[in-house]
Amino acid sequence: MSGLKDAGHLFRFAGLFVVAFLVFLLVRGFVVPKTFGQYGHYRAAAIGEIAAHPVKFAGHQACEDCHSDIADTKTKGAHAHVNCEACHGALAAHADDPASVTPVKPDTLVLCVRCHTASAAKPKGFPQVDPAEHMGGVPCQTCHNPHAPAIGSDAGASAAKGGAK
Amino acid sequence: MNGVVGFMYPNEYALQWSILIVLYPYITGLVAGAFILASLVRVFRVEAIKPTYRLALLTALAFLLDAPLPLQLHLGHPERSPEMYFTPHATSAMAMFGYVYLWYLMAVLVFEIWLDYRRDIVILSQQSKGLLRIVYKIMTLGSSNISERSLHIDEKVGWVVTLIGIPSAFMLHGYVGFIFGSLKANPWWSSPLMPVVFIFSAMVSGIAAVMLIYMATTKLRRQKIDTRCVDSIAMYMFYIFIIDFSLEMLDLVHRIYEADESFRSLDFMVHTRLYLSQVVVQILIGTLVPLVLLFLAQVARLSEIARKRIYVISGSLILISVFAMRWNVVIGGQLFSKSFLGYTTYKMGLVSREGLLVALGLTVLPILFLWVLVKLLPPWTEKPLPAATGD
Amino acid sequence: MNISRRHLLILLPAAAVAWKYVEAGTPEASPNYNKSEHWWGMLINIPKCIGCGNCVRACATENDVPDGYFRTWVERYHVTDTNLTNPEVISPDGGKEGFPVAQEDAGKYFFVPKMCNHCSDSPCTQVCPVGATFVTPDGVVLVDQTYCLGCAYCVQACPYGCRYLHPTKHVADKCTLCYHRITKGLTTACCEACPTGARQLADLKNPNDPIHEFLKTHPVEVLKPQMATGAKAYYFGLDGSVR
């Protein structure tokens, strides 16, 4: 058909598209990550990569494995459900290598007041005091054992010793 | 927290989408609008507008080439943007961008321009010297066939391309409206009207842009502006603007009437932080004034000069108004907290990567592109081109 | 140091456990973690929260959260005159250092910890253009930070404001439900640090999980239920004024 000869330029234009598409498919084969689409529209390997992030808080189980007597003291008191690292901070480094990483004892005048400063915003049943009235700058552990905070509990005053025996 | 009033979720203080994201829909809107003007000539055979046909196509191309730049500058990792081509997520409106853009650029705009200009390209490839000759030769794709029959085929195919181009232009800009309109998390954006409003305001802005560019370039070439042409363009601009305004007022009235949980917060925002850009610039100066002026030009018997002045003023105000509309949508949607209890401010940088200077540069750049395109593919011929050799 | 036999009996298994971790380095997940056996969520007990900010600090430590950005935060509500539609809410630095002392008045106060809700129909994963954020088979919404473009569409799509663009990595970031911890049998950092048990991890596929039991026997709700996101952060004792 003579018409085709006069439409040759159109085929050339279409040809550009075909070539571009083939190149695209080729590049795509190399570039798209291998695990993409395994579970859904994402790179499945990312799940494992994220799961492999380092842990900074050891978790109370790790603490209790070594510091069982502190754990025992705690279960009898009001802080039974306060996990160790809630006060002592992230200590996975210490749990992994107890000898070389020594935790710093928290300053009770900073730590305890965070939770126990009285505020109308806090739940009514929660133990809270006005720090100035209550102790006026005297460190909390002078009278309270942080691991069994009720006054008169058997651990007594200034018994906040750490370390495995 | 400077600039924050009331309560906002802590991660909401800083805006995520900057002036560059205001610019992107504005630019693609100009593209879509310019193309619609061209399609009025090609598909709907509005002969009066013919003098702007080629200019409209080149304008669309110039802006389309500029369009990805604000996006690239905004991305945290622009080098990863090819991922949108390799693994586009089918549920994401934004993932459409790569393919819609490419389709519109190559299969619609470049194709149509090439078909319309092919005769000129072949002739220029034979007449030019040096580097320019090589450029034209490449553009011919190696075919120098400009026989009657081949040009006739081009005409027919071009008509089909323009026809397909109309919904493609709607897609190119409509999907941007959908990006905003489909987010249930943001009540300022979430609306089925959003893509429609975007498309109509795009048409108005694109038509205004081509009209102004036509008038400016004609004046620069010391030629006479075709009054019948601009009269016709202004008429379309006027009617489409009425539809656009009606849609936006519908959204507003609906919002005020339903007064859902977000209303009080949004209402306060419009009356305070968004007052200047929305009420004053977009609505009063940018919409009501041009509508009144254009209405006068339609019904009152005004002189040519008066009408042309009205068109220039209206067209300019429309361009400002549509930009303000994009600003009010994008920035406005981020100024209020999703808790409906607070507001923040947009701190636009000056020389930063997403700052004002970059935005201005990206607005001027398409004019530069257009200048190059006009030089390469002149839309107007003072004298007819001579017959080519080997015809 | 005198090591008695009793202490040895405690030390040896502890050492064995510790050695397992040392040996494995930081394992991807414990070897017997099966994604299909878990469906993670969290229970937040409002009456128990005292606004101490431990969770915010712990999360920032565990996950290297940059200053000024929050994977979790605590809000304090002050509702007066039964005006549920316009409560007074504050979250100073996300509640990281706790809250200022409140004075007694006729209104009610309470704290609301917030985080990613790990929605099962998450709008953020729906809008990601490239598949950089996703819901894992065990119900955790994560971000693949080597794939993310940093377009911030997901940040816009989240109704809860829990996402942000990381200021130096320039990718989306948010709570991962401490995925690197829960896959090893640990709990999340925020739950570990919470002194009152206001935050508890929940495994909705585990019938023996006590939190699962709580969810079945107490009235709980999610934030912005009208958004139908399938949120899995369940709140007990949530007031109607909470945004």
Backbone angles phi, psi at B55, to 5 degrees: -60, -40
Q: Which two tokens stand for residue B304?
A: 């040519």
User: How is the beta sheet containing C72-79 ordered, strand by strand?
Assistant: C88-90, C72-79, C108-115
Chain A residues with CB under 8 Å of B112 CB are none
Least confident interval from B281-295, C60-74, C205-219: C205-219
Backbone angles phi, psi at B330, to 5 degrees: -70, -55
A160 within domain boundaries: no
C70 Cβ under 8 Å from any chain B Cβ: yes
B260-281 average pLDDT score: 93
Residue A52 has pLDDT above 70, yes or no: yes
- Name all chains with 3 or more CB-CB pairs below 8 Å to chain C: A, B
B11 within domain boundaries: yes
Q: What is the pLDDT of residues A4-18, one digit of tens each?
A: 778 889 999 999 999
Q: Residue window 36-65, chain A: list those with CB within 8 Å of chain C.
A: 36, 39-43, 46-57, 59-60, 62, 65
Q: Which two tokens stand for residue B54?
A: 């080629």
Q: Taking CA atoms, what residue in A is nearest to B106?
A: A17
Q: Residue window 65-104, chain B: list those with CB within 8 Å of chain A.
A: 82, 85-87, 89-90
Q: Where are the alpha helices (DSSP H) in B9-87?
A: 19-42, 53-66, 68-74, 83-86
What's the CA gap between B124 and B139, in Å, rounded? 10
Q: What is the pLDDT of residues B188-213, one digit of tens each?
A: 999 999 999 999 999 999 999 999 99
> Using alpha carbons only, how large is chain B's radius of gyration in Å?
22
Parent domain of B158: 5-376
Residue C24: pLDDT band (50, 70, 90) is very low
A134 within domain boundaries: yes
Q: Which two tokens stand for residue A61?
A: 């189980």
C35-58 average pLDDT score: 97
Residue C18 has pLDDT above 90, yes or no: no
Residue B101: count of CB within 10 angstroms of its CB: 19
Q: What is the pLDDT of residues B3-60, one digit of tens each?
A: 899 999 999 999 999 999 999 999 999 999 999 999 999 999 999 999 999 999 999 9
Interface test with C, best of A56, A57, A126 (most C CBs within 10 A): A57
Residue B223 has pLDDT above 50, yes or no: yes
Mean residue pLDDT of chain A comes to: 89
Residue A157 has pLDDT above 90, yes or no: no
**DSSP secondary structure string for all residues of A101-141:** -PPPPP-HHHHHHHHHB--TTS-TTS--B-HHHHTTT--GG
Percent pLDDT > 90 in chain B is: 94
C189 Cβ under 8 Å from any chain B Cβ: no
Residue C198 has pLDDT above 80, yes or no: yes
Confidence (pLDDT) at A160? 45
B384 within domain boundaries: no
Q: Which of B86, B114, B150 sits opposite A6 (nearest CB)?
A: B150
C157-163 average pLDDT score: 97
A86 within domain boundaries: yes
C154-171 average pLDDT score: 97
Contact A17 B107 (CB under 8 A): yes
Rounded to the nearest 5 percent, the helix, strand and coil shares of chain C are 30, 20, 50
Give the closest residue to A109 by CA, choosing from A140, A79, A130: A140
Residue C62 has pLDDT above 70, yes or no: yes
**Between the CA atoms of B130, B132, B136 and B137, what dihedral angle is there, to the nearest 10 degrees?**
20
Interface test with A, best of C3, C7, C56, C62 (most A CBs within 10 A): C62
Residue C5: pLDDT band (50, 70, 90) is low
What's the CA gap between B30 and B193, in Å, rounded? 19
B231-244 residues labelled b (16+ CB within 10 A) or e (exposed): bbbbebbbebbbeb
Q: Which two tokens stand for residue B368?
A: 């530069």
Q: Which of B85, B89, B141 sits opposite A9 (nearest CB)?
A: B141
**Contact call for residues C118 and C40 (beta carbons, < 8 A):** yes
Mean residue pLDDT of chain B comes to: 93
Least confident interval from A121-130, C1-10, C187-196, C206-215: C1-10
What's the CA gap between B129 and C184, in Å, rounded? 72
C2-26 average pLDDT score: 54
Confidence (pLDDT) at C83? 73
Chain C residues with CB under 8 Å of B186 CB are 156
Q: Which CATH number fits domain C36-120+175-236: 3.40.50.720, 3.30.365.10, 3.90.1170.50, 3.30.70.20?
A: 3.30.70.20
Residue A159: pLDDT band (50, 70, 90) is very low
Give me the amino acid identity at C180. H
Domain count, chain A: 1
β C40-45/C233-236 pair status:
parallel
Length of chain B: 391
Residue A54 has pLDDT above 80, yes or no: yes
**Contact call for residues B64 and B31 (beta carbons, < 8 A):** yes
What's the CA gap between C142 and A43, in Å, rounded? 11
Residue B391: pLDDT band (50, 70, 90) is very low
3-state secondary structure of B103: helix
Task: Find residue C89's DSSP bridge partners.
Answer: C77
A132 Cβ under 8 Å from any chain C Cβ: no
Give the closest residue to B39 by CA, choosing from B155, B152, B157, B159: B159
Give C4 or C119, the one with higher predicted confidence.
C119
Contact B106 A7 (CB under 8 A): no
**Between the CA atoms of A115, A116, A120 and A123, what dihedral angle is there, to the nearest 10 degrees?**
70
Percent pLDDT > 90 in chain A is: 79
A21 within domain boundaries: no
3-state secondary structure of B274: coil
Contact B185 C162 (CB under 8 A): no
- In Å, the largest CA–CA distance within chain B is 76
> How far is A161 from chain C, CA to nearest CA, in Å?
16
Residue C28 has pLDDT above 80, yes or no: no
What's the CA gap between A138 and A116, in Å, rounded? 15
Give the closest residue to A53 by CA, choosing from C33, C183, C22: C183
Q: Which two tokens stand for residue C217?
A: 């026997």
Contact C192 A85 (CB under 8 A): yes
**DSSP secondary structure string for all residues of A54-81:** PP----HHHHHHH-HHHHHHHHTSTTTT
> How far is A20 from chain B, CA to nearest CA, in Å?
11
Residue C2: pLDDT band (50, 70, 90) is low
Q: Taking CA atoms, what residue in C is nearest to A129?
A: C101
B146-152 average pLDDT score: 92
Parent domain of A66: 60-142
Residue B385 has pLDDT above 80, yes or no: no
Length of chain C: 243
Confidence (pLDDT) at C86? 85
> How far is A8 from chain C, CA to nearest CA, in Å?
38
B162-180 average pLDDT score: 94
Q: In chain C, where do the E strands start and end?
A: 40-45, 72-79, 88-90, 108-115, 133-135, 141-143, 164-165, 172-173, 199-203, 220-221, 233-236
Give the closest residue to A115 by CA, choosing from B303, B335, C193: C193
Cβ–Cβ pairs < 8 A, chains A and B: 42
B310-328 average pLDDT score: 97
Give me the amino acid identity at B86. F
Q: Nearest-5° angle of CA A31, CA A34, CA A35?
A: 135
3-state secondary structure of C79: strand
Confidence (pLDDT) at C13? 58
Interface test with C, best of A47, A74, A82 (most C CBs within 10 A): A47
Chain A residues with CB under 8 Å of C146 CB are 43, 46, 49
Residue B363 has pLDDT above 70, yes or no: yes
Residue B384 has pLDDT above 60, yes or no: no
**DSSP secondary structure string for all residues of C157-184:** H-TT---EE-TTT-SEE---TTHHHHTT
Residue C106: pLDDT band (50, 70, 90) is confident
Q: What is this model's ipTM?
A: 0.92
Residue with tokens 């973690």: C33
A1 within domain boundaries: no
Q: Which of A36, A40, A86 sits opposite C54 (nearest CB)?
A: A86
3-state secondary structure of B6: strand
Q: Taking CA atoms, what residue in B is nearest to A4?
A: B150
Residue A43: pLDDT band (50, 70, 90) is very high
Q: Which two tokens stand for residue C76?
A: 């304090």
Confidence (pLDDT) at C12? 60
Q: Taking CA atoms, what residue in B is nearest to A36?
A: B87
**How far apart, in Å, are the Cα atoms of B93 and each of B83, B193, B304, C126?**
15, 16, 46, 9
Give the closest residue to B329 by CA, choosing from B287, B377, B268, B278: B278
Residue B390: pLDDT band (50, 70, 90) is very low
Cβ-Cβ contacts under 8 Å for C158 (sequence gap 6 or more): B185, C123, C124
Chain A residues with CB under 8 Å of C147 CB are 33, 42-43, 46
Residue B289: count of CB within 10 angstroms of its CB: 16
Contact C51 A54 (CB under 8 A): no
Contact A55 C110 (CB under 8 A): no
What is the pTM for the complete model shown?
Answer: 0.90
The secondary element (H helix, E strand) that includes residue B280 is none
**Contact call for residues B164 and C104 (beta carbons, < 8 A):** no
Q: Which two tokens stand for residue B127?
A: 């007449």
Residue B324 has pLDDT above 70, yes or no: yes
C65-70 average pLDDT score: 97
**Contact call for residues B282 and B274 (beta carbons, < 8 A):** no
Cβ-Cβ contacts under 8 Å for B277 (sequence gap 6 or more): B324, B327, B328, B331, B332
What's the CA gap between C183 and A79, in Å, rounded? 27
C29 Cβ under 8 Å from any chain B Cβ: no
A41 Cβ under 8 Å from any chain B Cβ: yes
What's the CA gap between A127 and A77, in Å, rounded? 13
A71 Cβ under 8 Å from any chain C Cβ: no
**Contact call for residues B308 and B216 (beta carbons, < 8 A):** no
Domain count, chain B: 1
Cβ–Cβ pairs < 8 A, chains B and C: 119
- Given its phi and psi angles, is residue B2 left (phi above 0), alpha (psi -120 to 50 degrees) or beta? beta
Confidence (pLDDT) at C27? 40
Residue B68: count of CB within 10 angstroms of its CB: 18
C75-102 residues labelled b (16+ CB within 10 A) or e (exposed): bbbbbeeeeeeebbbbbbebbbebbeeb
Interface test with B, best of C55, C130, C162 (most B CBs within 10 A): C130
Contact C155 B179 (CB under 8 A): no
